[in-house]
Structure 1
Amino acid sequence: MEFGRFGSGRAVKRVEDAALLAGIGQFTEDFAPEGQTHLYFLRSPHAHARILSMDTEAARATPGVLAIVTGEDLAAAGVKPMTATLPFKRPDGAPLQAESQTLLATGAVRFVGEPVAAVVAETLSAARDAAEAIWVEYEELPAVTTTAGALADPARIVAQTRYGDAAAAEAGFAAAAHVARVEIANQRLAPAPMEPRVVLAAPEGERLVVRLSSQMPSTARDQLQDLLGLPAGTVRVRIGDVGGGFGMKTNLYPEDAVVAFAARSLGRPVKWAATRIEDFLSAVHGRDVDSVAELALDAQGKVLALRVKGLANVGAYPRNSGIAIQLLIGPWVSTSIYDIKTIDFAFTALMTNTAPTGAYRGAGRPEAIYIIERLMDVAARDMGLDPAELRRRNMIAPAQMPYTNAMGQVYDSGAFEQMLDQGLKLANWSGYAARAAASAEKGKLRGRGIATFLEWTGGNALEERVTVAVKGDGGIEVYATTQQMGQGIGTSYAQLAVDIFDVPIEKVTVIFGDSDRGTGFGSAGSRSLFTAGSAVSVASGKALDQGRELAAEALEVASADLEYQGGSFRIAGTDREIGLFDVAARQPEGRIFIDSTTKVNGPTWPNGCHICEVEIDRDTGEIEVAAYVSVNDAGRVVNPLIVEGQIAGGALQGLGQAIFEQLVYDPETGQPLSASFQDYAMPRADVLVPGYVTALDQSVPCRTNPLGVKGVGELGTIGATPALVNAVADALASQGRKAQADTLQMPLTPQRMWALLEG
């Protein structure tokens, strides 16, 4: 495939796609080493129960069975449990309290789908048959699945964080001319990537090579070594193609470590591939937060104070990510793009008998932005103001940059009113009345909603390592410790290398997913481009500088006398030159090699204005997205095609939460009622067709990284949910149903909407 010299700023088609479209991608499931065995997990059928006894004799006698692993076996081998270690406190000041999760349940099970035992056999069917022959005697215990139920039991309170000044906030509310209030449920979601979790562990000499579908190679390696008690360097993690992550694959799972343990114990390769139902049951879920929020405003609509109380259901075994997302990261953006100086926040994490929660696209920021954007619309209705105008009156001005918000987070850049103005123009905000009338003629309700917002990106992991090798055979190889998972960063990194080396893009190969080649944080929190992309640019510059010095030696001139263009060094004013790759070929190793670590100066704060218009069928309650417009500040854009695709994909996921998706547990038994695609509705691509328009504003570059880029992978997810729900609320309010508009709860399914419309 011919690409040419396509550096940054160009809409280059993704270089990763050729192999995938040809069916020659390399996913973990595609590997089947000689002697491979198969592992199957026996899982808990109960949400909460004591394990009284377990009989594995019949299972061990099943033909083809090689091993049965229990929690007691792991404990005897010194395998550690997975434990939350954050320094948060409980309301009484005591340290964080969370159940540690043994890799296989011991003593008790605490959610349906928790792994209880593992069977390794020559074939998957033999492993499954043997698992079904294991007899486990349980004593069922009461199950709690909701935040309200967990709050009633002090032992289920994991931790609580408080931020702001309660007395100052109370004074703001006392002085307010208007108070807006919302009670909001951000429902539990399943990330549901196309590729479920897959793990293949195989001994190689004294080491263990683990292939898995993950966003974070180095983290997976370090956690495996820690859990299994193995020395540093014992485990090598390799990751090929990843069929979507969405945050779900940032975590190491108990199943991953059990597979690794079994491979070491047997001395043979062991593979486990999750079924879709297993992922629904036991992979981390997202969101699941109940909030009460209030906004105090003066008579002109200026916000005086924001008060939020949130209860986060972090599941049976709270993870560091699940706790931090709701008790720290979400609060960082709760005031969003608004100049709100007075806050009173209280966020509580609670243990329940459900699967653990963790990162899911947006990770805390969608929950927080949804709250403030719902409040803005409720306040605008209360005050009789245009919702765009109320937002405008409270926006942080460019002259206030850098701006420190009430949570102490520093926004380096932002022109929020500029994004609003462009969004209103693109959406033809002033022409809405005619469109609403046209919908009414068709017998449909129309509503419009707006979300003006920002998000924080980076995971506060600001350092990234890359290697760049300019090879004598005419290629440039870039290795990055981040991870591709469908977001197209391989193409963007290649474009950044082209910017420096001025060679055709097909000469650049970007490699990921080998913990032996470098240690780094990985891909999470929309950090890949602004951290690792910056590192690629810096390392490429160092390689070119080294090449210049070597070329000067070869041409016997000072390096300052050399010009560089199109892959060649030339003595200025002459025709004497030497090619970059020729210089590399002259070196003892046949290459110019740079191993470089770059640290950026802070996170990025992408932002935007998203406007959604909906039509609602009065007879069926079905919602149709009639138009969706967004203007997005992603800083400098390396590849507009990829950025626009990320925003569209994120918006679709945000709309999915608003209209379709919800993981439901039976409140009495704790049984999951939506553990497959038969019961869990996913959005389709046509939700955004035909009225979807996106614009990028590159006039406000980020000031914390050398590229000026801002993370964009989660931006659409964050803006879409409040924009659509606000549109539906607007449609209801236009019919005199303000109380229903102010109390809308997701997902806005046809059944729920029909019930609302029927009163």
Structure 2
Amino acid sequence: MNTAPPQLGSNRWIGKPLRRLEDDRLLRGEARFTDDVSIANQTHALFVRSPHPHARIRAISCDAARAMPGVLAVLTGADARDDGLQPMPFMHLHKRPDGSPIVAAPRMPLTCDVARFVGDAVAMVIAESRNAAKDAAELVDVDYEPLPAVVDLEDAGRSDAPRVWTPAFTTEQGNIAAYYRMGDAAAVDEAFGKAAHVTRIRVVNNRVIAHPLEVRGAIGEYDAASKNFTIHAPVQGVHRARADAAAALGVPENTVRMIVEDLGGGFGSRAYGFPENAAVAWAAKRVGRPVKWLADRAELFLCDVHGRDQLWDAELALDATHRFIAMRVHALANVGAYLSFYGASVPAMSGARAINGCYDIPLVIHEVRMLFTHTAPVDAYRGAGRPEVGYLVERLVHKTALELGIDPAELKRRNFVRPEQMPYRNPVGSLYESGDFDALLQKAMTAIDWSGFETRREESASRGRLRGRGIANYIEATGSGLLTEEVDFAVRADGRVRIVCGTQSMGQGLWTSFAQVAAEKLEIDPSRVTIFEGDTAIVRSGGGSGGSRSLQVGGNAVLAGAIAVIQRGKELAARKLEAAAGDIEYAAGVYRIAGTDRSVSLFALAADEPQREIKLSAAATASGQTWPNGCQAAEIEIDLDTGAAHLVRMVAVDDIGTVINPMIAHGQIHGGMVQGIGQALLENVVYDRETGQLLTGSFLDYAMPRASHIPSLSTQFDESLPTAFNMLGAKGVGESGTHGAIPAVVNAVIDALKPHGITHLDMPLTSEKIWRAINHQ
């Protein structure tokens, strides 16, 4: 078992539920989101978007639009091409089935030849006001030649499917974007040949949209004298977004400044650049004035990246003692019409590293085909591939228990990776650092009163309702592949500490958590600490926020910076007090010569420095991705007359290592659970298979979870196994709630439907779907 890292201090602030320091200014309305930013002499932009899922652009007539009052320019994809703009970049993590590099349709800031999904931007109007731009956009006349389209995932892989991007198409694989395969097929086949029982399942991981509270927008500026661009946009990492914009603009990164002041949510859908960011910067150069674009929610249904949208077929082989001996997994993943930055990586990235979940499965073959369709691009959504894998594994285990007629908890216990096996090398080579899965299972069962369930089931039956329970374990790799962060500290004579870091707050309380880390080491009040993020002109480097990395990587760097401050202060105090540095002690913000009353405060030392502040930089690298894990349990009631599933109980027990701020951590788990519940029961993006049109293009058709759908959520933490991969002992927490909630809720619904012989339904488990299943409709 790991021990808590000694670098934290006396725990005056670590582990305390400190109220969020950032909330005061937010509640006072002092936040500055992208739409709050206005630049002198700015203009307004509106995008003209394709109404067709697939169409050749024969011609675009802009004369009538240009003649409208207040219109400054109407730009097209041909203008973008002629000005030397370039396609948006994407990560080349995987290859094609033949081993060749990924090929994908170029995603330009404006499409110039073929529109490939409903919402593809084909023109851009710049005007003195937003309304003037809207009016003119209606007069942009695009001559389209509609072409055959494919939006269904399985259809896209067929040899006769309409081609999304001809260079990527093969008769064997259809619209193939990328391919992943891991495992020894022969060894797996041999194990299946000896199996006493085999369970098979097909699961759909439904397409969803993140819908952060803040809609997307962007403001572009261009300085002709320096030839530099400035872009304001709601992004989860300014350096990633700057690199993407610079690539599309065809300019060096150091000529682009990316700024985000406050960010109203992200959930992975703001973790990379968008074409519109580059488009407004380019337009600003064309018209010689700043250009501002703000989307409305209906527009974002079309053009924001979507999440999930995968189809999984899996088989689990067991021996006669009900031990898991091998697993086969074959998946199709929809990446949309173009590759968003992580689009062809997410389906076989972090999730694939834990394909066996919490179970000791010695042999696995895992294959993923990533396919293009004429739909909006698909990319990271809270969990980014990990909840998809976790859902598959936990549904497979639950279905196996049903087929064998045994308690799912008993089947889990028989097959868990045991604590004494840690560190555990799983069948795809990943190393689980720690975990006691059985202990968390037992805590979740206790929290939900697993043993008292039958009494509650009978009470529900007395009211004519079905009641079911579900339980799900999870483990995931967090921290992303970016394990280093830098920080700049400024200790000021006025008693404040300013920390510049490369992560990005988006509602998860980073200011408070980072302040607690710094305050713990510096032995000062957290209210003295200010966190600055989100401007590439000030933040020298950074991986942003995503993959649950902010605290374990960014917070690790904050701790390293605080340690460096104390050391620098010792050197300054030794000089000030005319003593040897080795004789200087530090406590509560004051340096003292050991055994004497001669002292000087950290902030008094800052007053003697140039600009009255002690300035230094520090960096820290986590030694590996962490492996948070947990267990969630749910109880569902189903109304037989309507099929409506009512979630009545939900608990989560999580091992996230050292908990810096319990209140914030509980909030992170709660938020993740709600998003998981939403996907399990309500949310679903639907394209018409024949026309390619988006059928769920507003909140009238796309159901989001409401307060009435959510019971009181019980969450608790087990801190007995802090990680040794960073100085804080902290593991990721931002996506854990989603990972466990989805299978726990679905398993509970299937358990409730067991008397009706139903062993599987695909998400979302709407009242209509459940009613039809019960009534064999």
Choose the corresponding residue for 2:363, options 314, 331, 342.
342
How many angstroms apart in 1 are the aligned matches of 2:101 and 2:600?
64
* Contact 1:327–1:348 under 8 Å retained in 2: no
User: Which one-letter code corresponds to 1:756 in the other structure?
Assistant: A
Residue 88 of structure 1 deviates from its aligned partner by: 2.6
What is aligned with 2:65? Answer: 59
How many angstroms apart in 2 are the aligned matches of 1:453 and 1:87?
25
What is aligned with 2:76? Answer: 70
What is aligned with 1:753? Answer: 770
Choose the corresponding residue for 1:36, options 42, 47, 61.
42
1:539 aligns with 2:561: yes
* Contact 1:201–1:271 under 8 Å retained in 2: yes
- Secondary structure at the aligned position of 1:59 is classed as helix
Aligned length: 750
Q: In the TM superposition, what are the counterparts of 1:490-501 in structure 2 within 5 Å? A: 490-501=511-522
Residue 422 of structure 1 deviates from its aligned partner by: 1.3
Q: Structure 2: which 5+ residue stretches go unaligned?
A: 1-10, 160-169
What is aligned with 1:519? Answer: 541
1:396 aligns with 2:413: no
1:113 aligns with 2:134: no
1:179 aligns with 2:185: no
How many angstroms apart in 1 are the aligned matches of 2:260 and 2:91?
27
Choose the corresponding residue for 2:488, options 467, 482, 487.
467
- Secondary structure at the aligned position of 1:250 is classed as coil
Residue 90 of structure 1 deviates from its aligned partner by: 2.4
How many angstroms apart in 2 are the aligned matches of 1:143 and 1:301?
46
Q: In the TM superposition, what are the counterparts of 1:62-461 in structure 2 within 5 Å? A: 62-84=68-90, 86=92, 88-153=94-159, 154=170, 155-204=174-223, 205-206=225-226, 207-461=228-482
* Contact 2:756–2:774 under 8 Å retained in 1: no
How many angstroms apart in 2 are the aligned matches of 1:547 and 1:265?
51
User: Which one-letter code corresponds to 1:203 in the other structure?
Assistant: Y
> Which string of whole-angstrom CA distances, capped at 9 and with x for unpartnered residues, describes residues 271-296 of structure 1?
11111011110111000001111100
User: Which one-letter code corresponds to 2:183 in the other structure?
Assistant: G
User: Which one-letter code corresponds to 1:459 in the other structure?
Assistant: S
The change in CA–CA distance for 1:326 and 1:226 in structure 2 (over 3 A counts) is same
User: Which one-letter code corresponds to 1:606 in the other structure?
Assistant: P
Residue 6 of structure 1 deviates from its aligned partner by: 6.2
> Which string of whole-angstrom CA distances, capped at 9 and with x for unpartnered residues, describes residues 495-518 of structure 1?
001011111111110111111222
What is aligned with 1:642? Answer: 664
Residue 576 of structure 1 deviates from its aligned partner by: 1.6
What is aligned with 2:577? Answer: 555
1:23 aligns with 2:29: yes
How many angstroms apart in 2 are the aligned matches of 1:579 and 1:328?
48
- Secondary structure at the aligned position of 1:69 is classed as strand
User: Which one-letter code corresponds to 1:68 in the other structure?
Assistant: V
How many angstroms apart in 2 are the aligned matches of 1:708 and 1:49?
53
Residue 686 of structure 1 deviates from its aligned partner by: 3.7
The change in CA–CA distance for 1:396 and 1:226 in structure 2 (over 3 A counts) is same
Of residues 547-556 and 424-433 in structure 1, the stretch that sits farther from structure 2 once superposed is 424-433
Residue 320 of structure 1 deviates from its aligned partner by: 4.0
Residue 327 of structure 1 deviates from its aligned partner by: 2.6
How many angstroms apart in 2 are the aligned matches of 1:550 and 1:284?
51
> Which string of whole-angstrom CA distances, capped at 9 and with x for unpartnered residues, describes residues 380-435 of structure 1?
11112110111111111112111111121111111111111211222221221111
> Which string of whole-angstrom CA distances, capped at 9 and with x for unpartnered residues, describes residues 558-596 of structure 1?
122222222111222222211110001101231111211
> Which string of whole-angstrom CA distances, capped at 9 and with x for unpartnered residues, describes residues 5-52 of structure 1?
962110011111111111111111111121011000000000001111
1:8 aligns with 2:8: no
How many angstroms apart in 1 are the aligned matches of 2:149 and 2:278?
27
Choose the corresponding residue for 1:681, options 703, 706, 713.
703
Residue 87 of structure 1 deviates from its aligned partner by: 5.2
How many angstroms apart in 2 are the aligned matches of 1:7 and 1:37?
47
How many angstroms apart in 2 are the aligned matches of 1:506 and 1:141?
60
User: Which one-letter code corresponds to 1:396 in the other structure?
Assistant: V
> Which string of whole-angstrom CA distances, capped at 9 and with x for unpartnered residues, describes residues 124-166 of structure 1?
1111111111111111111100111111133511121111011
What is aligned with 2:164? Answer: none
How many angstroms apart in 2 are the aligned matches of 1:614 and 1:719?
15
- Secondary structure at the aligned position of 2:349 is classed as helix
Of residues 160-169 and 82-91 in structure 1, the stretch that sits farther from structure 2 once superposed is 82-91
Residue 736 of structure 1 deviates from its aligned partner by: 4.1
The change in CA–CA distance for 1:85 and 1:19 in structure 2 (over 3 A counts) is closer
The change in CA–CA distance for 1:515 and 1:595 in structure 2 (over 3 A counts) is same
Q: In the TM superposition, what are the counterparts of 1:573-592 in structure 2 within 5 Å? A: 573-592=595-614
- Secondary structure at the aligned position of 1:589 is classed as helix
Of residues 369-378 and 618-627 in structure 1, the stretch that sits farther from structure 2 once superposed is 618-627
How many angstroms apart in 2 are the aligned matches of 1:444 and 1:125?
52
User: Which one-letter code corresponds to 1:528 in the other structure?
Assistant: S
How many angstroms apart in 2 are the aligned matches of 1:487 and 1:704?
22
- Secondary structure at the aligned position of 2:266 is classed as coil
* Contact 1:214–1:249 under 8 Å retained in 2: yes
How many angstroms apart in 1 are the aligned matches of 2:26 and 2:726?
32
Residue 66 of structure 1 deviates from its aligned partner by: 1.0
* Contact 1:90–1:157 under 8 Å retained in 2: yes
How many angstroms apart in 2 are the aligned matches of 1:320 and 1:339?
33
> Structure 2-normalised TM-score?
0.95
How many angstroms apart in 2 are the aligned matches of 1:681 and 1:232?
40
User: Which one-letter code corresponds to 1:451 in the other structure?
Assistant: A
* Contact 1:84–1:100 under 8 Å retained in 2: no
> Structure 1-normalised TM-score?
0.97
How many angstroms apart in 1 are the aligned matches of 2:393 and 2:367?
15
* Contact 2:351–2:477 under 8 Å retained in 1: no
What is aligned with 1:615? Answer: 637
* Contact 1:6–1:504 under 8 Å retained in 2: no
How many angstroms apart in 1 are the aligned matches of 2:242 and 2:377?
21
How many angstroms apart in 2 are the aligned matches of 1:628 and 1:20?
30
Of residues 503-512 and 151-160 in structure 1, the stretch that sits farther from structure 2 once superposed is 151-160
* Contact 2:626–2:725 under 8 Å retained in 1: yes
- Secondary structure at the aligned position of 1:129 is classed as helix
User: Which one-letter code corresponds to 2:358 in the other structure?
Assistant: I
User: Which one-letter code corresponds to 1:239 in the other structure?
Assistant: V
* Contact 2:242–2:253 under 8 Å retained in 1: no
- Secondary structure at the aligned position of 2:124 is classed as strand
* Contact 1:46–1:671 under 8 Å retained in 2: yes
* Contact 2:310–2:332 under 8 Å retained in 1: yes
Residue 328 of structure 1 deviates from its aligned partner by: 2.9
How many angstroms apart in 1 are the aligned matches of 2:284 and 2:440?
54
How many angstroms apart in 2 are the aligned matches of 1:364 and 1:475?
41
* Contact 1:465–1:519 under 8 Å retained in 2: yes
User: Which one-letter code corresponds to 1:358 in the other structure?
Assistant: D
How many angstroms apart in 2 are the aligned matches of 1:455 and 1:416?
13
How many angstroms apart in 2 are the aligned matches of 1:168 and 1:736?
38
The change in CA–CA distance for 1:231 and 1:480 in structure 2 (over 3 A counts) is same
How many angstroms apart in 2 are the aligned matches of 1:90 and 1:670?
26
- Secondary structure at the aligned position of 2:206 is classed as strand
